[in-house]
Amino acid sequence: MKKEDRRPPSEKMAEKPFTVTRRVVQNTVTRYNYYYHAKLRLEKVLAGINAQRQDNYNVFLPFYPFTVEKLNLNSGELDSVIQKASVAVQIHDPRGRWIDDCFLLIGKAYYYKGDWENANNTFQYINTTFAPKKKSEYNTVVGRSEDDRLSISTREKQKDWFSRQFRHKSARNDAFVWQARAFLEQGKHDEAQSLLNILAADPYFPRRLNGQLAELQAWRFYKQGNYAQAIAPLEEAIKRSNSGRAQKARMNFILGQLYAAQDRQDSAIRAFRNVIALKPDATMDFNARVQIAKANVKANGGSLEESIAALQRMLRKERFIPFRDAIYYQMAALCANEQPERAIDFLQKSLKVESGNMLQKTLTFKGMADIYYATKDYASAQKYYDSTSLIMGADFEEAELVTTRKEALAEVTEKLRIMHLEDSLQTIAALSPALRDSMLSKQVAAIKAAKAAPEKSKEGTEENNSSQPKFTTNSGYSSPSFGPAPEAGGEWYFYNASTKSTGYSEFKRRWGNRTLADNWRRSQSTNLLAGNNNAPVPEADPVTDPAAAIANLPADSISTSLLAENLPDTPEKLKESRTRQLEAWYDLGKIYNDKLDDPREAILTYDSLLSRFPENPRRVEELYSLYIWHNRLNHTQEATRYKQLVLTQYPGTNFANILQFGLPKDEDKAKTGAVSAIYEAAYNAYRAGNYDTVAVLRKFADSAYGYSSLQAKFDMLEAMTIVKTSSEDSGKAAIAGIIAKYPGDAPILEQAKAIQEVLNRRQEITDYLAQLRVTRDSSGTAAVDENISIRYPWQTPKPNLPDSAATVVKGVDSAAVAASGVDSAAVVPAAPPPPPVTPYVLGDEKAAVPHFVVLYFNRVSKVLIDEAVAQFSKYNAEQHPADKLETSSFVLTPSEIMVIVRLFPDENKALGYFDEVTRVAPTAIIPRIKPTEYKFFIISRENFILLNNTKDIEGYKKFFGVNYITE
């Protein structure tokens, strides 16, 4: 039986004579039946990419109209290119001229997929397999040395015009270029530069690829940010490249941008005029003219008014009607620094223009925000940054800056609101009662009148609001048809992956990133300046935001007494109000410096704070911050003054030690390790009761290493040792010294205050513990319940018991008791009837009733509560970022403290979260807390208000167990 030959057809054909007839047939079939169609499909994919992109011409353009990592291509289209070319390779004679071109197409398809490993392997395979084998050329793959010049290229016959135009070119030389391009995409700049240097010096590298070689050299410098070095190879690429008119226009535009960045305005104008001469698409043509107007402002003989006049003339031309919003934006950009109010007017006009260009809307909103930010109008800046973030695309160049400023300015706005609110409330509270009541009455009347006024139609407001963008389809750009493309052959467009991808990209270009929701045009476009509609509205806190809490109440519920409840008219309320004001003022300075990088505004904030409240609790930290910020701005005299204030007024504090001995982070790793080892030994000695060893180790650390990052911990350990070994007064003095020395070290300060509180109540605790009884089991062993609920004496007031002699027990006949011979003291009166159960109610489970999820602890422990708050905050931020859940502790009574997670929009959401955390809390959220220490339940907002009023936690737990069904 003859053995079956399973070799691929290409191997079988390679054994047959390669006659002229076979040569012609194989080359023709490979080229026109396979290579040609695979190439057309790849060009179609790339054409779709170019049509989808919307460039930002106000920053350096990307060198190519796409980046591989952001192509978002349908891999099926590229896989079909690979399949088509692979079939050609497998079924045709490997000696044909178009086999290497098919491999090159395969490598390009892998390149556009971002599959670098297969792309590099394919280009390397072309290099090794199709290396020239004739005796007149080299026989090695790496290269040869001739006349001290290394050559790796395949020689191409280019002596006459016919050879250059019609003779088949070897794809191996193109593979070298694409190999270098793949290296650059991967960030392997050294490998790319080595290959490019070899090709540039190769005497046999074909001249037809010199333009692409220069293009890659320019791209390498451009990617690395070496813009000055990119100019020369870019000029060479423009002269020699055969990349097509569109790419040549893009390179001319980039060249003009590079010249403008080098302040070579005349050269920049010449480059932009070359762009116009190449007749690019309408958008690039328009932006080239805009760049000429910009360059003219800085060029010799140019002026601002001349450039603005040129742009105004463009407004009157019909062909620039689709770009009127961009023209107004560019006019604003020209005068933003010198005439910000005029720039704002131009930007407002830009927003009034009907356009579907979402990138331009993004730039206009950001331009408004930047001007307000520069002029310190942070409230307006935050509003426009918020609008920018809502409509900007994922690949917007300055997306990170917009997001950072939006979040920081939201914090600034909130802190300013708290400061002004508390200031106003304190001012009103200080008025005479008559004047205060009169002012509150007027305010109540104003609020009721505002609530009674008919609300305007939202749609009418949208139409009349000039700052709101109006989205239409009159964009001036070509958009894809929603019918099947001619080449689709009648295929329904929703089955065509390429059409769907193009349509989705066009939608994002026109409308921005929008969440999937009903009536999205109305619900999202009308509130651009108000933020994201889909985000849950946080519940107003009546303490920190009384105005918002009152605004949610019906008009008939508002009265002067309600408004007066928020006034700090008692010493305790005034202290709380001042504390909130001081915290907001302090945080505001930190935000200005840390998040907005504005130390000047931070200095003004702390100067005002110290002027208004010179003796606030954080004065030393504020003085130290002022020293750091003035030093950063090279204000030597002011920095020295604040440094002396810290050293003279707060000697021995952590901040003074830092100023004297340097920051702890400056110490080297060896010192840190040695000091840490000494501290660990000292701490172990303290726990073992070897207090003399603690003192010895402390002195050794000071003498051997001086001030270190563990100085505060050593001082705390020494004070704790004094408490253990010395008199009560000495211990109190040592702890008080720690509190005074480290007011800004929160962990040390918290621990010291806790010890101070215990020392101050030592006798009270001793008396309380002396009255405790220890129960013993049958074996005589003392039993200790780890879950016992302990209420400290200062947490529970002493009961006001009536005199036993005056007590009359109802329902008990004393004469009968005496006659029975039973001791009357042993008679226990009947228990009073239990209090009525709190009337908790179940809401309609289909209604959107806000709910909380509560973590209830069986005993009071600050450590457990703090850890639970921290861990649940971290878990919610990682697992439920879109829900924007808040985690906080809530004191129901001094002995009953809960952790609350809020706000869930309805009962089902709360129950889903309840089931989730009940399952994962013991292992993933709070594994260090025993499951016996806590219980979960959910509660509606109305029931929570009842619970807060009645304090009947046991009643609600019973109500929850009966009425809620959970997994």
Predicted pLDDT at 626: 93
**Whether the predicted pLDDT of 534 surpasses 50:** no
Provide the pLDDT confidence category of residue 45 given band limits of 50, 70 and 90.
confident
Q: Which of 281-295, 453-467, 632-646, 861-875 has the lowest mean pLDDT?
A: 453-467
**Whether the predicted pLDDT of 125 surpasses 60:** yes
**Whether the predicted pLDDT of 460 surpasses 70:** no
State whether the Cα torsion 917-918-920-926 is positive or negative.
Answer: positive
Provide the pLDDT confidence category of residue 345 given band limits of 50, 70 and 90.
very high
State whether the Cα torsion 939-942-948-954 is positive or negative.
Answer: negative
β-strand partners of 888: 900
904 sits in which H/E element: strand 896-904
**Whether the predicted pLDDT of 485 surpasses 50:** no
Mean pLDDT value across residues 440-468: 59
| Among 156, 190, 188, CA closest to 172 | 156
Contact 220, 192 (CB under 8 A): yes
Q: What share of the chain is helix, strand, coil (3-state, %, to 5)?
A: 65, 5, 30
Instruction: Please give the Cα distance from 128 to 917 (Å, whole number).
Output: 59
Mean pLDDT of the chain: 75
**Whether the predicted pLDDT of 466 surpasses 50:** no
Q: Are strands 886-893 and 144-146 parallel, antiparallel or unpaired?
A: unpaired
Mean pLDDT value across residues 814-826: 39
Dump pLDDT digits (tens) for 677-713. 888 888 888 888 888 888 888 888 777 777 677 878 8
Predicted pLDDT at 369: 92
Looking at per-residue pLDDT, the higher value among 856 and 706 belongs to: 856
Predicted pLDDT at 551: 62
**Whether the predicted pLDDT of 797 surpasses 80:** no
Q: Write out 431-442 in H/E/C secondary structure.
A: CCHHHHHHHHHH
Predicted pLDDT at 966: 53
Looking at per-residue pLDDT, the higher value among 439 and 541 belongs to: 439
Predicted pLDDT at 675: 81
Predicted pLDDT at 298: 80
**Whether the predicted pLDDT of 794 surpasses 50:** no
Orientation of helix 282-298 relative to helix 324-335, angle to 10°: 20
Predicted pLDDT at 481: 31
Contact 335, 367 (CB under 8 A): no
Dump pLDDT digits (tens) for 911-938. 888 888 888 888 888 888 878 778 888 9
Predicted pLDDT at 602: 92
Looking at per-residue pLDDT, the higher value among 885 and 535 belongs to: 885
Dump pLDDT digits (tens) for 369-414. 999 988 888 888 989 999 898 888 777 878 888 988 888 888 998 8
Looking at per-residue pLDDT, the higher value among 914 and 513 belongs to: 914
| Among 586, 590, 587, CA closest to 599 | 590
Residue with tokens 């509003």: 383
Predicted pLDDT at 150: 66
Q: Are strands 851-857 and 149-151 parallel, antiparallel or unpaired?
A: unpaired
Specify the pTM: 0.47
Mean pLDDT value across residues 493-521: 54
**Whether the predicted pLDDT of 965 surpasses 80:** no
Predicted pLDDT at 370: 92
Predicted pLDDT at 498: 53
Predicted pLDDT at 71: 55
β-strand partners of 145: 150
Contact 506, 473 (CB under 8 A): no
